[in-house]
Each structure stands twice: as structure tokens, then as C-alpha cells.
Amino acid sequence: MAGSGLLGTPAAAGPRRSAAVTRRRPVRDRIRQGAWGWLFVTPMVLVLGLFMALPILMALWVSLLHWDGQSNPFTGHADFVGLGNYRDLISSDGLSRTLFATSLRNTAYYVLLTVPAQTVLALGLAIVVNQRMMRGRGVARTVFYFPSVTSSIAVSTVFLFLFQGSGSVNRMLSWIGVKGPNWFADPRGVVWLVLGDLGFTDPDHPGGPLARHGVLGLSWADWFSGPSVAMCTLILLSVWTTSGTFMLIFLAALQGIPRSLEEAAALDGVNRRQLLRHVTLPALRPVVFLVLTLGLIATWQVFDQVYVMGKGAPGNTTLTPAYLSYSSGFDNADYGHGAAIAFVLLAIILPLAGLQRWVLRERGGRGRRLRRGGRGPLRAPREEVGARG
Amino acid sequence: MPISRSLGGAAAACAAAVLLTVTGCSSGGGFDSSAPKQSSSGSPQSLSVMIATSGDAETAAVKQATAAWARQTGNKVTVQLASDINQQLGQAFAGNKPPDVFYVNSDQFANYAKGGSLYAYGDQIPNASAFSGPLRDSFSYGGKLVCLPKDSSTLGLAINTDLWKQAGLTAADYPTTWQQLAKVAAKLTKGGVTGLVTTPDYQRLGALMKEAGGWITDPGQTAMTADSAADRQALDFVKSMMSAGSLKYASDVDAGWGGEALGKKKAAMTIEGNWLAGAMKADFPSVGYTVVPLPAGPAGKGTLVFSNCWGVAARSGHQKAAVDLVRHLTSAGQQLAFADAFGVMPSRTDALATYARKYPAAKAWVDGIAYAQRPVTIAGFNQVLTQFNTDLQSLRTSSSAQILEGLQRNGGQVLKNGR
């Protein structure tokens, strides 16, 4: 029986087995056994407490302060502002709120486009390189995995050159008669860009009446602008770099699908699409959950590409909460504000991961027992998430 | 119940772990708030200096200068190069282990001074009045001169001489007013060349606001004056040149900054400071250019002055030696040595006169000091100015009034909360 989490493995296995096997033993024995279990896991609990729980609690405390980073935040002199930092982000009108709303909008589009694209691409690549008939599988796997092992800073820098106004990408586009935009300098949202090209809206003042009203300090025209051209380049970059990693995860899962399943399906006379739809994908469900969750968390926290490629420019359209948190701290000397952004981000990611888990749960007339059993396979990915984080 | 018991156990263990680590932390002294220990001034001391270097030339010059001082005094100096000095200093202050001497960016100066991280040594400098006025104001906090300006930079109008001649213009046509600027820029704009290329930030366009008689704040930096008619006039002038096609932002012509556009002959003119000289020598040695003062606006001449200062940490244990080191580094002779090595202008008026004689090509930049506007140094103002720069990127399609109203509102909030 698998444990319920990273740190709980030995402890959880201990009492559970004792409960099952030695139901009649006296309570004293069980307590002693539990105590031994806790003794064994104490070092791990200590390490995790020191390096995970404690920093999180300290950051939570800092998020309640007005802290300029130049004094001890854990003394009575700290300037306690309660939920002031959170109020600046969410309720009180001002630059902080507008910037935060802008970063949320940018990241929402980024997540919305990146996560499905990288998952589908990774699955496709994995299916391709999993074919037994394919020649040069090893080479293909290496090539597809290559972007993932390259430093994201290096990749970002190369992309900067490729996507210059007179860079290679635009030169290639010009061969087919397309005049490419000045990718990283273009703050226009693609929604308004397309609508403007079709003549539905004034390209210089998009959105019409939507521009006059808004929420969280950002007009509706800004909310619905879609990702900017610069952001689309970032999305392209992250799909390209991450799909290799996820391909590897899918590949491992594909190789774990019993051959007999496919053979049984073949005997039933299914074609390839049916095989994918009814055999492969259901078998991959836990792994799909894993990939989506990892993707969701990583994309909401995107920082390095933004830091390299423009620090939010052009027009704040590549600003992300993670970068905003960094710049509030180190550029604006307002670390409490930066910490508050990090916790709001956490409050966004957790429910989304929960929602995803709920959507991807096992379902369909298999009864209560199976539904409970269905939690088993889902548990494995969660452990891996924990291990990665 | 086994489950509830194990949960209780887990909670207890976690609580114990946290308690243990908290006590460990407090005794370990991660955040030691005791006063700095002053080393006795007699024994040799070991100082650390953190700089954000512009290149190998600057690194070598600073290392050489500090080594010379170390030899003289018998102390030891280690020069540390910061790749992101704001972040590294921020971490050092929070961790209570700041370097003894370090560069302080003017945009971070107020944050550090307000947080009490800088040791105000201005009163220990006997000839502080030798440093140029606007720079001394920039690095004063609460009426006290906190740190000495390392060097100075002002903005001028750099002109590509070949393109200038090709357009049939002579030295008599160098623009001295906005009208003339617009006229020659239009004349220079043809083919792949744009008359005037600059970066969309207040560190360039702000000079025009000054020339129109406006600025972001009042002289004492106590109130916002961003939404004044003068500022609007300046941005409207930039807009009018943009719509005429004779002014473009560097990113629109595929350049990182004005100097690159000038070197690549995509710009006939650009607004840049004296760092341009070093960059042109290194990257575009064959491109001829000349620097003239920025053309005067409705309210006369205007330019901006920038500098870093030599900060000494309030928590340094070697303040006396550190101040002595700074005195050495900012001496007239040393400033001129720095000027020779990596092309910065001295921040002392006496050294500046020598510099002007030695480098006549930099005359426009040197003369600018006399009428230059100092940078905004208000704690917590970075975000406001970054947002202003972001808004300036879209100046072509938005209205000047709207951008300046935004700046006025955002800055006003910071001023209100800061007091």
C-alpha cells in the first residue's frame, strides 16, 4: 500500500498495517508502535519544517508587514499593517492593484494557451516516439528532449535574436509575403489586433465602449485584449521548452500500459483512433493529471523568461505575478507587498489544481467502491508533485 | 482511533519541529540587530566593495584605485562585482551582512536612506561643496548629505555627421530650438534613416519636460507637478514629431537604445548621455558623430543629470576606513583617472574643468551640468516611474494628458503614504 505523502510513508504504513493485522492487540502496543514510527520520521519532519514550513510561515508574517528589507521583521519594531498589503492588491484603487490585475490577466492568457498546447504536443510526441516500428527512436527522443535540458536563460536569449524585428523569423515570414510584427516590442493584444484587421474596432483605440469601464483598475478592453504579440512569443518559447519533459513523462506512462490491453483491443477490431480514445487515454489519466498540474503550477509562476526578455515590457503585457513580486521587493523595497503577491498567487493555484483534480476524477457507472478505489492511481502523481516541489 | 491519533501526533511533531527551528533561528542570529562593532582604527582592516560595473575597463579601474589606497593605508580591499546590484544589496541588507562600500543607484538611494542602511558621512568631507549642486541634492536625505556622487552624466543631442552632411546641413544648422529640431529631423528622415531616435523613458524625454518649464515633482520633491501644462506641451511636441515620422523609439527601429540606432545609421540624431562616447568607440568606431546641447524649449535650456553614489553601510564595522576610501576614490585626481579609463565625467566641479579641457568633444555634456535637472529620489517611487516609462511607450496612440494624470495620481499616492 502506498503511503499518503512524501513524509508520511513510513508512519502511515505503520499504524495502518497494525490496524489491519493486529486488531486485537492492546492499545499500549499500538501507541508504542506509533511512537517508534514518529521517532523514525522526526529527522525528515525537522528538515521539512526548517526548509519548507518555517520559510512559508515567515513569508506569511512578512506579507502582513510594511517591510523595507533593511531591519529585522521579527521584532516588535516591525511595521505591522495587517491585511494592508492584500487590500492594496485587491480592493484599494491604485497603481499596485492595476499592476497586479495586469499581471493576472497576462498570466491567465499565458496559462490558458501554454498548458493545453504543451500537454497535447507532449502527448503527440510521446505517441510518435513510442511506436515500435519507428526507426531512429532514440535520436528522436533525444532531439525532442533537448530543449528541456537547455538553460531557459540561454533559450530566451536565442529567442530574443530570432524574433527581432529584422530577425530570422521575420525574414522567413517575408519569403511567403508576410510582414511579421516587431515581436518583443509589440504590446497590442491579439484579440484586438485580429478584430482591428477585420475592421471591427479602431486599432489605435480598441474595444470602444469596453475601454470606459472595468474591474480591478483595468478596463474591460484591457481584460479581453488577449495575450500581446510579445506574450505569444513567450508562450511559443515555453511550449517548445517544456514539451520535452512532459513527453518523457507520457512516454514512461505509455510504456507502462500492458501490451495485453492493446492486443485485446486489437482482437476487438478497433482502429487506431478508437485505441487512443478508449484504451490509451483512459490508462494515461493519472499522468495527464500530473502533467496538467505541473504545467499549471509552473506557468502561473513563470519568472525567468520574463526577467530575461523584457521585465514586463512592452506595455506591461509580459508582466507576471512572480516577476511583480520580485520587483516590488528588490526594486521598490516593499517586501511585504511582494510576499502578499506570492500568497495571492498561491490562493489562485491551489483551487485551480483542486478543480482540475475534480474534473479529471474517475467517473461513470462503476459504483462507489471503484470510485473510492479511483483515488489510488491519482495518489501517485501527487507524490511526484511533492517530490518535485 | 488510529487515524486521529496519528493526526494528533503529526501536529505535535510539526509544532515541535517549528518551535525547535524558531529557537534555533533566534539564537543563531540570522537577523542580528545589535549595533555594528567598530574595529579599532589602528589595525589593518579588510573592506569589501560592491560595484555594478559597466565593463572590464571600469572593473579594472576600480580595482586599481582601491588597491592603491590599500597599499597606502595598509588595509585590504576586496572588490565584488554585482550582476544585479539592487537584488544583491537588498539581500545583503536583509541578511545584515552588507558590503562596507558600494554603488548606490539614484533610484534606490531614497529607499536605502529611509531604511537607515546608509551611513551619512557627508559632514566628514571637508570640501563637499566641490561636488556639483544638483548631485549633492540628489544624495541628500533629511537635509544631510548622505553619500558622495561617484561621477556625473548629462544628456546631449548626438548627431551623425555623415548623415547630417548628406542632408545638405551644416554646423550652422545644429538645432537650438524645438522648432529647428523638428525641422532638421524631418529633413534627415528618409530611406532607412529616422531623424531622431530615442528610448521611451523619462530619463530621456524628461529633459523636454524640463525645457518646457515642467518636471515630475516640485524642486523639493514634496508634491507632484506632473500634470502641468508645461509637461503636456513637452509630450505633445514628442507626439507631433512622432506623427510626422521624424521621431521614433529605438525598439521601432530594432535597436536596444539610441546609441545603437545611431551606430547602425538608423538614426541621424539621438538623445544620450556621455556613456555614448565609450559605447561608440567600442561598437561603432567608424561612425562619426558630434554632440551638441539639447535644443532649448519654451522655458529655455534643459537636460538631466545622473549619477551613482559611494554608499557606506550603516552596519559596516569599518566606517572610518570606508569613508577614507571614498575620499580617495572621489578625489579630483582619481575622478580624472576614472574618466580616462571608462569615460565617465567627474562629479567635482574642479575636476570637471580639467576634464572639459582634455575632452573638448564632450563640451555639450559638461556644460549641461549648469542647468541640469536631478533625478527623482523619493522612497518607493520606482514603481511609479517604471509605470510612467511603460505609458510613454504607447505615447503615440494615447494622450499626453492621460499619461501625465496617471503619473500625478500614482506619485501622489506614494507621497501621501510615505509621510
The domain total for chain A is: 2
Residues A263 and A343 in one domain: yes
More confident residue, A362 or B360: B360
Please give the mean pLDDT across all residues of chain A.
81
Which one-letter DSSP state was computed for residue B43? S
CA distance B362 to chain A (A): 32
Percent helix, strand, coil in chain B, to 5, is: 50, 20, 30
Tell me how far apart the alpha carbons of residues B337 and A270 are, in angstroms, rounded to a whole number: 82
- Interface contact B251-A94, CB threshold 8 A: no
Predicted confidence at residue B171, as pLDDT, reads: 87
Question: Which of the listed residues A62, A79, A100 is the one where a domain comes to its end?
Answer: A62
Q: Tell me what the mean pLDDT of segment B149-166 comes to.
A: 91
Predicted confidence at residue B22, as pLDDT, reads: 45
Considering only the beta carbons, identify the residue of A69, A182, A187 that sits closest to B90.
A69
Question: Which of the listed residues A27, A45, A62 is the one where a domain comes to its end?
Answer: A62
Residues A124 and A14 in one domain: no
Q: How confident is the model at residue A11 (pLDDT cuts 50, 70, 90)?
A: very low
Tell me how far apart the alpha carbons of residues B193 and B105 are, in angstroms, rounded to a whole number: 34
Residues 91..150 of A with a Cβ closer than 8 Å to B: which? 94-96, 99
Query: Residue A43 is part of which domain span?
Result: 9-62
Q: Minimal Cα distance from B412: which residue of A?
A: A94
Provide, as residue numbers in chain A, all residues whose Cβ is less than 8 Å from the Cβ of B410.
Answer: 94-95
Residues A14 and A128 in one domain: no
Predicted confidence at residue B277, as pLDDT, reads: 86
Distances (CA, A) of A349 to A55, A83, A282, A296, A298: 19, 20, 25, 8, 10
pLDDT tens-digit series, residues B244-261: 999 999 988 888 889 999
pLDDT tens-digit series, residues B138-148: 899 988 899 99
Residues A42 and A127 in one domain: no
- The domains found in chain B, sorted by start residue, are 46-152+307-373 (3.40.190.10), 154-305+380-418 (3.40.190.10)
Helix/strand/coil (H/E/C) assignment for every residue in B201-265: CHHHHHHHHHHCCCCCECCCCCCECCCCHHHHHHHHHHHHHHHCCCEEEHHHHCCCCHHHHHHCC
Residues A100 and A49 in one domain: no
Kindly report the length of chain B: 419
Q: Does A34 touch chain B (CB under 8 A)?
A: yes
DSSP secondary structure, B383-394, as one string:
HHHHHHHHHHHT
Residues A58 and A130 in one domain: no
Share of chain B above pLDDT 70, in %: 90
Q: Say if A317 falls within a structural domain.
A: yes
Q: Does A169 touch chain B (CB under 8 A)?
A: no
pLDDT at A374 over 60: no
Question: Which of the listed residues A62, A79, A99 is the one where a domain comes to its end?
Answer: A62
Scored b (16 or more CB within 10 A) or e, A326-356 reads bbbbbbbbbbbbbbbbbbbbeebbeebbeeb
Q: Does A182 touch chain B (CB under 8 A)?
A: yes
Helix axes B106-114, B382-393, angle to 10 degrees: 150
Q: Does B370 touch chain A (CB under 8 A)?
A: no
pLDDT at A202 over 80: no
Residues A110 and A50 in one domain: no
- Read off the CATH number of the domain in which A172 is found: 1.10.3720.10
- One-letter amino acid of B225: T
Please tell me whether the peptide bond between A314 and the residue prior to it is cis, using omega within 30 degrees of 0. yes
DSSP secondary structure, A213-277, as one string:
-EETTEEHHHHTT-SBHHHHHHHHHHHHHHHHHHHHHHHHHHHHS-HHHHHHHHHTT--HHHHII
Q: Does A329 touch chain B (CB under 8 A)?
A: yes
Q: Tell me what the mean pLDDT of segment B160-173 comes to.
A: 89
Q: Does B19 touch chain A (CB under 8 A)?
A: no
- Interface contact B18-A49, CB threshold 8 A: yes
- Interface probe for B, chosen from A95, A96, A202 (most Cβ of B below 10 Å), is A95
Residues A28 and A139 in one domain: no
- Interface probe for A, chosen from B20, B248, B251 (most Cβ of A below 10 Å), is B251
pLDDT at B361 over 90: no
Contact A50, B21 (CB under 8 A): yes
Contacts of B318 (CB under 8 A, 6+ apart): B38, B39, B45, B46, B47, B100
Q: Minimal Cα distance from B399: which residue of A?
A: A205
More confident residue, A359 or B22: A359
Q: Minimal Cα distance from B97: which residue of A?
A: A70
Provide, as residue numbers in chain B, all residues whose Cβ is less than 8 Å from the Cβ of A99.
Answer: 383, 387
Q: Say if A213 falls within a structural domain.
A: no
More confident residue, A264 or A212: A264
Q: Tell me what the mean pLDDT of segment B116-126 comes to.
A: 89
Predicted confidence at residue A218, as pLDDT, reads: 82
Query: Of A234, A240, A344, A349, which Cα lies nearest the Cα of A296?
Result: A349
Residues A294 and A374 in one domain: yes
Q: Does B288 touch chain A (CB under 8 A)?
A: no
pLDDT at A6 over 50: no
Q: Say if A165 falls within a structural domain.
A: yes
Residues A127 and A185 in one domain: yes
Predicted confidence at residue A82, as pLDDT, reads: 86
Provide, as residue numbers in chain A, all residues whose Cβ is less than 8 Å from the Cβ of B399.
Answer: none
pLDDT tens-digit series, residues B47-100: 999 998 888 888 999 999 999 999 988 889 999 999 888 889 988 988 888 999
Contact B183, B157 (CB under 8 A): no
Tell me the three cell numbers of residue B271. Answer: 538623445
What number is the ipTM of this complex?
Answer: 0.78
- Interface contact A335-B94, CB threshold 8 A: yes
Contact B51, B308 (CB under 8 A): no
Q: Does B22 touch chain A (CB under 8 A)?
A: yes
Q: Minimal Cα distance from A317: which residue of B?
A: B390
Residues A31 and A134 in one domain: no
pLDDT at B4 over 50: no
Which one-letter DSSP state was computed for residue B103? E
Distances (CA, A) of B52 to A151, B55, B62: 24, 9, 11
Predicted confidence at residue A12, as pLDDT, reads: 42
Q: Say if A77 falls within a structural domain.
A: no
pLDDT at B311 over 50: yes
Contact B161, B400 (CB under 8 A): no
User: What is residue B50's three-state secondary structure?
Assistant: strand
Q: Say if A323 falls within a structural domain.
A: yes
Run of H or E including B48: strand B46-51
Residues A254 and A357 in one domain: yes
pLDDT tens-digit series, residues A226-246: 898 889 989 999 999 888 899
pLDDT at A344 over 90: yes
Contact A118, A243 (CB under 8 A): yes
Tell me the three cell numbers of residue B280. Answer: 561608440
CA A97 to chain centre: 23
Kindly report the length of chain A: 389
Q: Say if A74 falls within a structural domain.
A: no
